[in-house]
Chains A and B, each alone.
Chain A
Amino acid sequence: MSFTLLSGSGFWNPLLWLALLVFFALIGYIIYSRGNPSYKPNTDQVMPFLSGNVEPSKEKVQVKAGDIYWGFVEALKGYYKVLTAIHTGDMRDYILWYLGVGSIILFLLVGGA
């Protein structure tokens, strides 16, 4: 059984990739194992520094899904405005889109006949 996948212009061998992954994981582990010896878990050393303020509860500091990629969505506000406007959830629009696309395809096919 061959493990090499040929695409006509390149190849992909997952086992070779796995071997490289193991190799780099080993290097990573070596770097990790030589880490900072002064680190002490479960002490004040690992607490966040908040300028003397009380640390908020875990639920309050969690980054919510809605906040992730806020900048990306904000930058593409115009694009998303159009995109959300066409996703109306209205059944009549679903069918109108079908009729519209169908008409274009029919025009292209019958027009070319």
Chain B
Amino acid sequence: MIEHLPALVIAIPLFGAFITPLFRKRYNLAALWAILISGLTLVLVLLLEYQVLTKGMMIYVFGADKPTLVLPSGYRVPIRIMFQVDGIGAFMAISAGLMSFVGAVYSYSHLQKETGLEKYYTLLLLLTAGILGMVLTGDLFNLFVFLEIASIAGSALVGFRNYRGEASEAGIKYLIVSSVASLMVLFAVGILYGQYGHLNLAYLSKQITFNPLDMIALGLLFTSFAMKCGSVPMHYWVPDAYTEVPSGINPPLLVSTYASLYALFRVSFTLFGKITIDMATVGWIMSILGVLTMFIGVTMALVQKDVKRLMSYHAISQTGYMLLGVGVGLTVFHDKQALIEFGRTAMAGGVFHIINHIIYKSLLLLTAGALFYVTGTRNLNEMGGLARKMPITTISFMVGAAAISGIPPFNGFASKFLIYEAVYKLNPLLAIFAMVTSILTLASFVKVFASAFLGPPLEKYEKVREVPKPMIVAMVILAALCVLFGLFPDFVLDKIVYPAVDALINFIQYQSWGGLA
């Protein structure tokens, strides 16, 4: 069974999604089914990570006699659909599995007053399958297909509360932005297929040259994935979508955004990794986009009054750190000495920040969902004095806010520490921007804490009580991870982050299908 893990990781949530509509009007059963399926997916994903760590890259060929049969008789190149799971793919798959599970647990109580929940859970599992497909596939066209699955499921979930005009508008906006990005990805895939006649990422990465058509394909892929991951100035869809989506979907939707960031890294490092001259340019573009993203995101967050919108702008801002860290690594990608000296550490900081951010931002968005659940509003001006009424939500919020602001010993500090120190060596100004952003982040969350949780208890919230247990469980899991990842950063770096970074750096290993070619 182990050898079929890459396929099972996709098949289980897909199977779960197609069965869920059978639980029509039995919403509790649909929720339990989604929790079961997402929990099983999480177990499979952890097994997959273990396999990749102990045995190396996993190759899965669909339709071949044996999964290890890469070269079908009579063909010089693989033509079948392949899943190629390396360190970075498995790293992203863990994030997807974990957040899908947390989202399903949280949704159990959070959405009890809603209808049409069998569709909601179907879409949640489809979104999970789409993200997992994006991060595990070794085929460029497959990447597009899974991107579409994730985008369509995601936009339907954003507009799930269709009785609210804002939700429908946000869903349509997300759908249009995703469609434009996907169309350009397809155009780039077409350019590469037209030239080389193949879609396999590893094979293409060996054939890619330096001609203008290849550069156009790189530009289209880069811009499209940058928009899908919410990079400034193409970030406008993020606050719309994150604010209106039900809070239980925020964690998987966040991973869906970072699946596009993964695709951006995969394209830059693996597909176009051997282009030596322009990689420094691409790295600088990524780093500058990163700085702009973090600064504009945080300054916009500071003036928001809607708690989820404020947190959404922070999601944009934190993406900047990832772009900056990995961008610095890409800038010195072909300078071996600089790569060893600080490039690899900068990339580790950026990649570590992906999972840290997924954890603490999901936690913060879940606490925002909890505030909405009890107060019925997202407007911070109308909240106050909730700390005594909701002690666990308050503590969870404090952990998340400390983590995102880079306060030790929480997880956000560990990754930001690596980014500051490594980025400083390329250009001190970049590190200064990153630190100023952290200070503004802290200021922004002090505002949320002061206005929602502190202050005198308000009469209108006299009868407010703590949120139901499933919502608490989801928040506590994430808060515990914030603390654990912060206390044992070296363990996390060694086990999942550096293998992911090395998978990006050693693109020759990817090109040879883990040594099978």
Binding site for B on A (CB under 8 A): 1-5, 7-10, 12, 14-15, 17-18, 58-59, 61-66, 68-69, 72-73, 76, 79-80, 83, 86-87, 89, 91, 93-95, 97-98, 100-102, 105-106, 108-110, 112-113
The answer to whether B421 and A68 touch across the interface, beta carbons within 8 angstroms, is: no
Contact partner, A14, options B300, B409, B459, Cβ 8 Å: B409
Question: Is B450 an interface residue when CB atoms closer than 8 A count as contact?
Answer: yes
| Closest CB in chain A relative to B352 CB, distance in Å | 10
The answer to whether B216 and A106 touch across the interface, beta carbons within 8 angstroms, is: yes
The answer to whether B490 and A63 touch across the interface, beta carbons within 8 angstroms, is: no
CB nearest neighbor in A for B227: A98
> Given contacts A62-B455, A65-B380, is CB(A102)–CB(B408) below 8 Å?
no
> Given contacts A58-B458, A66-B381, is CB(A97)–CB(B223) below 8 Å?
no
Contact partner, B451, options A15, A63, A95, A97, Cβ 8 Å: A63
Residues of B within 8 A of A72 (CB): 302
| Chain B positions 445-493 with a Cβ under 8 Å from a chain A Cβ | 447-448, 450-452, 455-459, 486-491, 493
* In the complex, per-residue mask of B197-217: 1 if CB is within 8 Å of any chain A CB, else 0: 000000000000011100110
Stretch in B124-132, B232-240, B506-514 with 4+ CB within 8 Å of A: B232-240
Residues of A within 8 A of B216 (CB): 106, 109-110
| Closest CB in chain B relative to A59 CB, distance in Å | 6
The answer to whether B417 and A69 touch across the interface, beta carbons within 8 angstroms, is: no
Residues of A within 8 A of B173 (CB): 91, 94
A113–B341 CA distance with the chains assembled, in angstroms: 29
Binding site for A on B (CB under 8 A): 172-173, 176-177, 180-181, 184, 210-212, 215-216, 218-220, 222-224, 226-227, 233-234, 236-237, 240, 277-278, 281-282, 285, 296, 299-300, 302-303, 305, 341-342, 345, 380-381, 383-385, 408-409, 413-414, 417-418, 421-422, 425, 443, 447-448, 450-452, 455-459, 486-491, 493
| Closest CB in chain A relative to B390 CB, distance in Å | 17
The answer to whether A83 and B300 touch across the interface, beta carbons within 8 angstroms, is: yes
> Given contacts A64-B381, A65-B448, A94-B234, is CB(A5)–CB(B490) below 8 Å?
yes
A68–B211 CA distance with the chains assembled, in angstroms: 54
The answer to whether B457 and A1 touch across the interface, beta carbons within 8 angstroms, is: no
The answer to whether A97 and B233 touch across the interface, beta carbons within 8 angstroms, is: yes
> Given contacts A5-B417, A7-B345, A113-B210, is CB(A66)–CB(B305) below 8 Å?
yes
The answer to whether A83 and B381 touch across the interface, beta carbons within 8 angstroms, is: no
The answer to whether B299 and A83 touch across the interface, beta carbons within 8 angstroms, is: yes
Contact partner, A98, options B211, B223, B381, Cβ 8 Å: B223
Contact partner, B409, options A7, A10, A17, Cβ 8 Å: A17
> Given contacts A15-B487, A17-B409, is CB(A102)–CB(B180) below 8 Å?
no
Residues of A within 8 A of B278 (CB): 109, 112-113
Contact partner, A112, options B181, B222, B233, B281, Cβ 8 Å: B281
A59–B458 CA distance with the chains assembled, in angstroms: 6
The answer to whether B418 and A102 touch across the interface, beta carbons within 8 angstroms, is: no
The answer to whether B302 and A5 touch across the interface, beta carbons within 8 angstroms, is: no
| Closest CB in chain A relative to B153 CB, distance in Å | 20
**Chain B interface, DSSP helix/strand/loop, else mixed:** helix
Contact partner, A86, options B212, B233, B281, Cβ 8 Å: B233
Residues of A within 8 A of B215 (CB): 106, 109-110, 112-113
Residues of B within 8 A of A65 (CB): 305, 380-381, 383, 447-448, 450-452
| Closest CB in chain B relative to A93 CB, distance in Å | 7
CB nearest neighbor in A for B211: A113
A8–B487 CA distance with the chains assembled, in angstroms: 19
Contact partner, B455, options A5, A63, A76, A95, Cβ 8 Å: A63
A39–B83 CA distance with the chains assembled, in angstroms: 70
The answer to whether A98 and B234 touch across the interface, beta carbons within 8 angstroms, is: yes
CB nearest neighbor in B for A95: B180
> Given contacts A8-B341, A98-B223, is CB(A58)–CB(B381) below 8 Å?
no
Residues of B within 8 A of A86 (CB): 233
Residues of A within 8 A of B181 (CB): 98
Residues of B within 8 A of A79 (CB): 299
Residues of B within 8 A of A98 (CB): 177, 180-181, 223, 227, 234
A17–B486 CA distance with the chains assembled, in angstroms: 11
The answer to whether A101 and B486 touch across the interface, beta carbons within 8 angstroms, is: no
The answer to whether A62 and B456 touch across the interface, beta carbons within 8 angstroms, is: yes
Residues of B within 8 A of A14 (CB): 408-409, 414, 486-489
A98–B178 CA distance with the chains assembled, in angstroms: 12
The answer to whether B408 and A17 touch across the interface, beta carbons within 8 angstroms, is: yes
CB nearest neighbor in A for B450: A68
Q: A10-B417, A110-B216, A113-B212 are in contact. List 4 more A-B contacts (CB 8 A).
A: A8-B421, A58-B456, A63-B451, A94-B236
